[in-house]
Amino acid sequence: MTTTAAQQQEPAEVEERLVTMLNNGALAVMLSIGHRTGLFDALSEHSPQSSAELATTTGLNERYVREWLGAVTTGRIVELDPDSGAYRMRPEVSALLTRRGSANLAVFAQYVSLMGSVEDKIVRCFEEGGGLGYEHFPRFHEVMAEDSAQTVLAALESDIIPLVPGLSDRLSAGIDVLDVGCGRGRALNQLASNHPHSTFTGIDISAEAVDYARTEAEARGLRNVTFAVRDAANLAENMPAGAFDLVTTFDAVHDQAAPDAVLRGIRHVLRDDGVYLAQDIDSSGSHQGDLDHPLGPLLYALSLTHCMTVSLAAAGAGLGTMWGRPLAQQYLRDAGFGTVEVRTLPHDEQNAYYVCRP
C-alpha cells in the first residue's frame, strides 16, 4: 500500500498527537459550554474575576464555574493570576470566543457537542444502516443559525450579493427571490429589510425553523417576506415555472434526501434570465484530495453524524458534507444549468459559491 509522506508519522509523534487530540476534544466541549452559559462573554467583559465573582456575574453555580475554569485554564484559553486567584481572557482570545467578535469559534464548538449527543444512535446506524432524522438534533437549527450569522449574514451585502454582477441594483429595483432550505430565515429577513422593493419567499421542511423565521420577520415589521413549510423536493410540482428572478441556497443542498429533485425544482421556478446562487461546502470530493483540507476531519465527522445521516434517514442520496466541487457541478449541470461559475470568498474558506444560470 502506498501512502503519501504527509500521512506517515513516527509512532511517538502519533501518540503525542492522539493525547493532544483528547485534550482538544474535551476543550471543544468546554468552549461550547462557555458560549452557551455566557461565561466567555462575562469573563471577557470584566477581567479579571475570581470563580466566585464570575459565578455571581453569570448567575451560575460556582462549583461548576470553578471546574470549567480548571479546564479552560489548563487548556491555555483563560489565564490565571496565581497571586489573586483571578482569571482573565486576553482581548485577542476574547475576539475569537465571544459574541462581540465577528468570528466566534465557540459557535462552531457546539457542533462537537452535537456530534457527541448522537453517538449511541450513530453506532446503531453503523450496525443496521439507515440514518437519524432532524428530530434527533433538537439544537441543530439554533446552532446552524448562529453559524450562518457569521458566514452568511455578516457578508451578505458586502461580499455574497456582489458575486453576481448587477444583483444588488436588481434587488434595490425590485425582484422576486426564493431561499430554499432557509432554516431560521435570518439571511432572507436581512435581505428583505435591506431591499423593500423586492419580495422574498423562504421555504424549509422544518416547522420549528419556519416559525422562528416568521416571528423574527413580524418583530422587524417586514411585509415583503413570507415563509412556508415545504419539501424542496416538490418545487417543480408545487410552484409555477419561472416565478423567481433569484434563488438562493445557503448550505442546503448536500444534506438533502433528493438533491437532484431539489435542483431541478430550483431550475423550474427560476426565470430564464434569473440566477441561482448556491453556497455549499467546498472540498475536492476525494479523501486523498482532502488530506490538506484545514477542516477535513471536522467536516467529515459532521457529515457522518448529521448531514449524511439526515439524508439517509429519509432513504436519500446521503451525499454528505464533503460531496465536493466536481459532484456539485455535475448535479447543477444535470439539473439544467447551462453555466456554473465557482467562486470563493476569503471570509468563508469552507464554502464554494456557485453562480448558476439557465
Ligand X SMILES: C[S@@+](CC[C@H](N)C(=O)[O-])C[C@H]1O[C@@H](n2cnc3c(N)ncnc32)[C@H](O)[C@@H]1O
Residue 248 φ/ψ, nearest 5 degrees: -125, 150
Nearest to 311 by CA among 257, 260, 238, 261: 257
The least CB distance from residue 207 to ligand X, in Å, is 10
Residue 102: all three cell numbers together: 465577528
Q: Where are the beta strands (DSSP E) in 96-223?
A: 176-180, 199-204
For ligand X, which stretch binds (CB under 6 A), given 20-28, 77-85, 252-260, 345-353?
A: 252-260
339 forms beta bridges with: 357
Output 203 or 332, the one with its CB closest to ligand X.
203
> Is 206 a residue that touches ligand X (CB under 6 A)?
yes
Structure-derived torsion over alpha carbons of residues 56, 57, 60, 61, reported in degrees to the nearest 10: -30
> Is 259 a residue that touches ligand X (CB under 6 A)?
no
Q: Where are the beta strands (DSSP E) in 102-195?
A: 176-180
Nearest to 87 by CA among 42, 131, 147, 30: 42
> Is 181 a residue that touches ligand X (CB under 6 A)?
yes
> Is 94 a residue that touches ligand X (CB under 6 A)?
no
Structure-derived torsion over alpha carbons of residues 128, 133, 135, 136, reported in degrees to the nearest 10: 50
Q: Pick out residues in 298-337 that bind ligand X (CB under 6 A).
A: none
Output 43 or 112, the one with its CB closest to ligand X.
112
Binding mask 138-177 for ligand X (x = CB under 6 A): ------xx--x---x-------------------------
Evaluate whether 335 touches 266 at the Cβ level (below 8 Å).
yes
Q: How many of the chain's residues bind ligand X (CB under 6 A)?
A: 21
> Is 212 a residue that touches ligand X (CB under 6 A)?
no
For ligand X, which stretch binds (CB under 6 A), given 9-17, 116-124, 180-188, 339-347?
A: 180-188
> Is 277 a residue that touches ligand X (CB under 6 A)?
no
Q: Which of 156, 209, 299, 332 binds ligand X (CB under 6 A)?
A: 209
Evaluate whether 353 touches 277 at the Cβ level (below 8 Å).
yes
128 by Cβ neighbours in 10 Å (0-12 / 13-18 / 19+) ranks as: exposed
Q: Which residues contact 78 (CB under 8 A, 6 or more apart)?
A: 43, 69, 72, 87, 88, 89, 93
Output 186 or 293, the one with its CB closest to ligand X.
186
> Is 256 a residue that touches ligand X (CB under 6 A)?
yes
Q: How far apart are CA 189 and CA 218, in angstroms?
A: 10
> Is 250 a residue that touches ligand X (CB under 6 A)?
yes
Q: Strands of 244-250's sheet, edge to edge? A: 225-229, 199-204, 176-180, 244-250, 270-281, 351-357, 339-343
> Is 182 a residue that touches ligand X (CB under 6 A)?
yes
The least CB distance from residue 43 to ligand X, in Å, is 28
The least CB distance from residue 255 to ligand X, in Å, is 6
For ligand X, which stretch binds (CB under 6 A), given 16-24, 112-120, 203-211, 343-351?
A: 203-211
Q: Which of 69, 77, 175, 232 binds ligand X (CB under 6 A)?
A: 232
> Is 183 a residue that touches ligand X (CB under 6 A)?
yes
> Is 348 a residue that touches ligand X (CB under 6 A)?
no
Q: Which of 34, 93, 94, 204 binds ligand X (CB under 6 A)?
A: 204
Positions in the binding site for ligand X (CB under 6 A): 134, 144-145, 148, 152, 181-183, 203-206, 209, 231-233, 250-252, 255-256
